[in-house]
Structure 1
Amino acid sequence: MEAAPALCNLLQSADNSILESALSCLGMLAADAHGKAEHMDRLCESKVIDTAMGLLDKDGWKTLGDDTLPGILGLLKHIASASEKAVNSLFDLGVCDLLKQMITYYSRSHSGSDKLEMLVEFIYQLMRPLGASGQENATTEQNAHIDQLASIVTLITQVAKCGALSSVCYRCIVVIGNIVELSTPTFLVELQKTANLSSFLTCLLARKNRHIVFQTLEVSKTLL
């Protein structure tokens, strides 16, 4: 863990091989810290999130190599899945606006399915710490984060409806299900107006994948 600050500095290297090696090492540190709150907090304090987000900011993600972008998203996803502190930092750094840009971009790309799947999986991991306390016990800050994530729902529904791979579509409906469960009734009314969830769910029920249909039915029951 003592090496984390030095590895974070290497993330700013112009040499892709050094950058990717540093990402790999940080990924191993994150995996080792998983389930150890103190270690994960120390990793967050090493500015790994700030540095990684800095690489993605201002369209930087468009210039990253095919191996580098998944490495950064994987690292952030891994940390976010185990640390509420990390999730708060990501929201403070504008992760939702970044995700909107990336989802919009890759949903228009014929070869963007794998990246869309990574992005939707990343959103799912952001939901986990927020959902741990449940709707009734959610803090004001957590509710604000849920509202930010909900602003992505319209994009996610478009991804799922536009012939996305079954794996992408399934992850989309799981994410939407999590957002629905954590949202207040008043907010769901507003969400329905912008995302037209009824039309979206009807579309998914026509899919032949039983896992997608089952998850769609679960979301439908929550909304009833």
Structure 2
Amino acid sequence: MTAPAGSTAVAAGRVLGWLGYAVALTVAAGCALVPLAWGRAAGTPLLAGGPLLVVALALFGGALLAGGRTFRAVTAGLLVPVLATALFRPVAALRPGLLLVAAGVIVLALAGAVRLLPARLRTGPRIGALVVAAGLAQAVASLTAYQAGRVVDGSLPAWRAPVRCPHRTGAGNSPSPCCSPPGRRRCCCPGPPGRWSGWSAVR
């Protein structure tokens, strides 16, 4: 006997179906993160992000078939960063020196693709593209700050802990800034009375 529409049996079936769908996608996403972190799928780095992209496509397909407008927008927005990750991961594995260039190209390509979508389908992908761009901007800013810190640390060793100059004695032996990395320190200080020693090695 078929249960009428809107009955308890139909509602319970729908709930169980969506729960099974959610559990299956969760397990699949967890399995897809392994090749993404490992950097290789099916024996090649080019497919490292493929499994996660398949999971995102399955989620988006379910939203198109049975989801509401909000669910479709959310899944479409999630699809954009997943696609960016799938494109970015092979570059990180094969050409690490081109990470920033590849990230910029990927962001521009995704932004152009989002603009080509119809207006009714553009909300979710646009938010996803903004999230990708914001994440890239933060990564670039962090990397720039790190590199700038390294450059400053290497070019201004006077900021390091001071060392004492061996040519000064008594009360006149004031700390002199270190001018090279530890192990090969140098200080600029006066030599014996009457002449200047210039750069004197301190070990």
Determine if the TM-score, normalized by the shorter chain, exceeds 0.5.
no
Q: Larger % of strand: which?
A: 2
Question: Which has a greater percent of helix?
Answer: 1
Answer with 1 or 2: which has the greater Rg. 2
What is the TM-score of this pair, normalised by structure 1?
Answer: 0.30
